[in-house]
Amino acid sequence: ALSKTTEKENGRPNILFIVTDDESWDTVGYNNPRLKTPNIDALAKRGMIFRAGHCAATPCVPSRMCMSSGLQFHRWDRSSPNIFEQALKEGSWTWMHALRNAGYRTGLIGKGHYYPIRASHGFDVMQLCDHPPKNKAGLTDPPWRDDYTEFLKEKGVTELEDPKTGQRRPIRGLFDGFQWPHSIDLH
């Protein structure tokens, strides 16, 4: 838990900002009755829905960097000239810094697509499932430690192994669309 104080206790609203990966407006139940997304729908009913939002960049990494910095794609400083290592340069201003400066405790749960994945961008707490690049995968020391990979290792499984065959599943690229092969409690 990021905060033990409630909105009533500190006089400020708690903020939960959820970013799903590469999802369009019609892929949630509250906008498309053919789809069943009960948890997202319940959050939307109790929270705020931005109905006129526009994506600053269509690929997920640049999009997240634009959201974090408030800058358009061509204006934020890159962490590297290498296209596979491009993310918001560490030390750049983010709205998470602004929240922290205003007295909020901030956290990132999931993936931010920063480079390195634990780059300092204003989060007090980070629990990551961010899949570091191949040349950094398996490193357990910051800035590359992936909490989810470590969790799976503790359970004796890997995302890349098919539990039915014990064989490593083929990787056909970043968007191979494989089905999750393990029990739901490991997802």
Closest CA to 13 of 22, 3, 27: 3
Phi/psi of residue 56, nearest 5 degrees: -75, -20
Selecting among 55, 113, 182, 187, the annotated active-site residue is 113
Q: Which residue has the tokens 């407006």?
A: 25
Given a cut of 70, whether residue 145 has pLDDT beyond it is yes
Given a cut of 60, whether residue 95 has pLDDT beyond it is yes
12 vs 108, which has greater pLDDT? 108
Does 60 participate in catalysis according to the annotation?
yes
Positions of E strands within the chain: 107-110, 125-128
Can you tell me the distance from the alpha carbon of 87 to that of 79, in angstroms, rounded to the nearest whole number? 5
Selecting among 54, 60, 129, 131, the annotated active-site residue is 60
Does 121 participate in catalysis according to the annotation?
no
The overall pTM is greater than 0.85: no
Helix (H/G/I), strand (E/B), else coil: 78:
strand
Side-chain-facing half-sphere of 88: CA atoms under 13 Å? 29
